[in-house]
Amino acid sequence: MTLMTPPERTDAVPPGFELPEFHARLQDEVRAFADEVVAPAAYEYDTKRELPYDIIAAMGEMGLFGLPVPEEYGGRGRDYLALCLAVEQLARADQSIAVTLEAGVGLGMMPILRVGTEEQKREWLPLLASGRALAGFGLTEAQAGSDAGGTQTTARLEDGEWVINGRKQFITNSGTRITRLVTVTAVTGESVRPDGSVKKELTAILVPLPAKGFVQEAPYDKVGWHTSDTHPLTLTDVRVPASNILGARGRGFANFIATLDEGRVAFAALCTGAAQGCLEEAVRYAKERTVFGRPIGDNQWIAFKLARMQARVHTARLAYYDAVHKLMNGKPFKSEASMAKLVGSEAAMDNARDAAQIFGGYGYLNENAVARHYRDSKILEVGEGTSEVQLGIIARGLGFDAL
């Protein structure tokens, strides 16, 4: 791999948000890793559409997968801000690598840490925190995502085992050669409400892999995130022990809502990193590229475009810093997480478009980082809750039950 010249930094910590010593060191460490290891390999793996297991292993050795996991379970015992900072720095260079970490921790590990039994924590967290294995979270279906009530996957108890049948789609980290666990949400019962409507009982269940009847279908042919692993899943009479229930029976809906709220904060950090990466590439190019004897950045329309890109990044970073601060201090953060995700995803998409425009024809070449960000960033407005879902959550926080 050929090392690239590290981009000029434009991501100084805003006043009033000075990072503690450990977090500042971590930020610099992951930034250097992203510049020296991730970025030079990004185009190669994007073209191959392969997850770079050597890079994932290196991230495991750095302790990135174990950042928010207590030391007693094999982690580094740090906080959620540490995870967000790592995700942000990786996303500057390659969103696929960043989401592999974000989803592996936020969706794969955190539900076990939050609601798992002591036995489940000791069985799974050390392995997942090491980065030697990945876990996925099987929520979305053809008719269920934002509307979890549309879940069709079922699980019934039979001879002390859950028998699971159904299909899941768009599941990250579900089909890699180091995937060892997928948590699935399934209907485990139904009840009739007073108005006669049927209420589904949703439960989360741990499915260790490989498992008989569990099939990872062919990977999706995606517009972007080519290096990230994403599969549809089919479960046919998959059997796991009754003890593999994650959290209380019937609490699957509440637990996955809490998981998504928390995960959106790290996802917002990913969005911020993507927007930051576009800004850095565009600033560098605007200073190097000369037309009519002067750098193109001396043209007001380009300088103003860069200024707007900087303003978006700054706003996105402030938003996720605020959300993670409330999360870590036990304060309500649902609306703040949605605002951070909304603002961050729009910043990433807008900055990718503007950066590609500044690069001109070069911005349309896949070997260029801004072209990959342009393709990758659209999913940021969809994944872990669409922008419309975030607006609905924010509106409910204002007292409006908008549908």
Q: What are the residue numbers of the active site?
A: 384
Residues 6+ apart with CB under 8 A from 329: none
- Nearest of 233, 216, 234, 242 to residue 163 by alpha carbon: 242
Distances in Å between the Cα of 116 and the Cα atoms of 109, 187, 230, 241, 248 are 10, 19, 25, 15, 9
Work out whether the CA dihedral 56, 61, 62, 63 comes out positive or negative. Answer: positive
Question: Side chain identity at 141, as an amino acid letter?
Answer: E
Torsion of CA 324, 325, 330, 333, to 10 degrees: -50
- Residue among 86, 79, 123, 120 at smallest CA distance from 102: 86
The radius of gyration of the chain from alpha carbons, rounded to an integer in Å, stands at 21
DSSP per-residue codes, 350-393: HHHHHHHHHHGGGGGSTTSHHHHHHHHGGGGGTTTS-HHHHHHH
Per the structure block, which two tokens stand in for 23? Answer: 């977090």
HSE-up of residue 320 (Cα within 13 Å, Cβ side): 32
